[in-house]
């Protein structure tokens, strides 16, 4: 049931590369972020200097990596891609930084997971375009300051709250990515359908968009599943009926809930009278790890207004009851 995970599966990376928007004008939605970024990039280009370091924050699958690549493309500069967990040793980061070309973009995904020594090296690099290379060991060790080329760091994080203050302060521009509206996802889907050569009708696009949890990555993935269905069981055309039938096969319902989401809500409502109940108990009831329930299911259930987190535990809202075809008790939250 990985259809609705906002995180990319390794096997889908190639498909993702095909569907990635290349320029700011191809990037759908996020109008504020687009406008702000446009100004940052154009201002820097007029001054002939690299733009401020950019922090992109928001849930997975909303286009952070795509935007980083777009920033490099708009600047006409190369991009070097790495991630916080990959920068365990400060030496690896030092090597990368000292190899940067003038004006290059360095993208660090999951930057909140960077190890402390590497993070501290980044402070100086971001501020003064310098790294201190430590030579030797023990009491005889000396640190040699090394100049590096002016560059632009683009950091991405799903949890801007867990970034340290000093790191956050060194980004000149922070963009908060929001979940996409249904019409924006329809636009993403129309674009992807054109690239993939899928005969996607307006009502089909609306149907897929409504089940995509506000996330372009999920929309594109569902489009590929629907395309398979349309080609195997139909004539390739994707309209509302085809999209519905296809997504039923994959257990993705009208609101974008999958089997596990519905199991969680079902247990909450049927076994615990709608709550409140602790997440650990709820996880046992559906046979899952508490972290899976907490990190995979709950964020969307909360956002979709079906589950409330209270100090006493999880509570099903009136919408959850009605989505399961049941009558909500009078005290269920709205």
Considering only 33, 37, 53, 66, the residue that binds ligand ADP (CB under 6 A) is 66
Considering only 57, 65, 157, 160, the residue that binds ligand ADP (CB under 6 A) is 65
Dihedral (CA of 280, 284, 289, 293) sign: negative
Question: Does residue 63 interact with ligand ADP by CB under 6 A?
Answer: yes
For residues 18 and 197, give the distance between their C-alpha atoms in angstroms, rounded to a whole number. 12
Q: Which H, E and C letters describe 18-29, residue by residue?
A: HHCCCCHHHCCC
Q: Is 192 helix (H, G, I), strand (E, B) or coil?
A: helix
Q: Catalytic site residue 109?
A: yes
Question: Does residue 77 interact with ligand ADP by CB under 6 A?
Answer: no
Question: Does residue 227 interact with ligand ADP by CB under 6 A?
Answer: no
- Choose between 25 and 322: whose C-beta lies nearer to ligand ADP: 25
Q: Considering only CA atoms, which of 27, 51, 20, 59 is closest in space to residue 153?
A: 51
Question: Does residue 62 interact with ligand ADP by CB under 6 A?
Answer: yes
- Choose between 194 and 310: whose C-beta lies nearer to ligand ADP: 194
Q: 242 CB contacts (<8 Å, ≥6 apart)?
A: 204, 226, 229, 230, 234
What residue has token string 């995904």? 109
Question: Does residue 155 interact with ligand ADP by CB under 6 A?
Answer: no
On whether 123 is known to bind a ligand per the annotation, the reply is: no
Distance from the first to the final alpha carbon of the chain: 29
Catalytic residue among 211, 213, 217, 262: 217
Binding-site annotation: residue ranges for DNA: 309, 314
Binding-site annotation: residue ranges: 19-20, 61, 64-66, 127-129, 170, 180, 217, 309, 314
Binding site for ligand ADP (CB under 6 A): 16, 19-21, 27-29, 60-66, 156, 188, 216-217, 220
């Amino acid at each position: 049931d990985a259809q609705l995970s906002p995180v990319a599966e390794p096997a889908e990376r190639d498909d993702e590369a095909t569907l990635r928007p290349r320029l700011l004008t191809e990037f759908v939605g996020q109008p504020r972020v687009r406008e702000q970024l446009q100004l940052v990039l154009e201002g820097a280009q007029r001054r002939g200097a690299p733009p401020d370091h950019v922090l992109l924050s928001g849930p997975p699958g909303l286009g952070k990596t795509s935007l980083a690549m777009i920033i490099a493309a708009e600047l006409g500069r190369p991009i070097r891609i790495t991630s916080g967990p990959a920068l365990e040793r400060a030496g690896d980061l030092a090597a990368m930084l000292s190899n940067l070309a003038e004006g290059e973009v360095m993208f660090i995904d999951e930057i909140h997971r960077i190890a402390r020594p590497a993070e501290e090296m980044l402070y100086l690099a971001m501020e003064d375009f310098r790294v201190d290379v430590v030579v030797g060991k023990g009491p005889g060790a000396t640190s040699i300051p090394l100049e590096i080329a002016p560059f632009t760091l683009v950091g991405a994080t799903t949890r801007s709250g867990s970034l340290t203050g000093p790191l956050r302060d060194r980004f000149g521009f922070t963009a908060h990515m929001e979940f996409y509206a249904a019409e924006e996802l329809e636009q993403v889907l129309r674009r992807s359908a054109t690239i993939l050569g899928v005969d996607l009708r307006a009502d089909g696009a609306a149907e897929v968009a409504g089940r995509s949890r506000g996330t372009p990555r999920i929309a594109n993935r569902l489009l590929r599943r629907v395309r398979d269905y349309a080609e195997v069981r139909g004539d390739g055309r994707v309209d509302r009926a085809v999209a519905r039938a296809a997504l039923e096969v994959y257990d993705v319902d009208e609101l974008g809930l999958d089997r596990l989401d519905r199991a969680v809500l079902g247990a909450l409502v049927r076994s615990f009278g709608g709550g409140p109940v602790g997440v650990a108990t709820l996880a046992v009831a559906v046979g899952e790890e508490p972290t899976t329930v907490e990190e995979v299911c709950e964020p969307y259930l909360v956002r979709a207004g079906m589950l409330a987190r209270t100090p006493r535990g999880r509570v099903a809202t009136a919408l959850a009851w009605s989505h399961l075809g049941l009558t909500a008790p009078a005290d269920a939250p709205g």
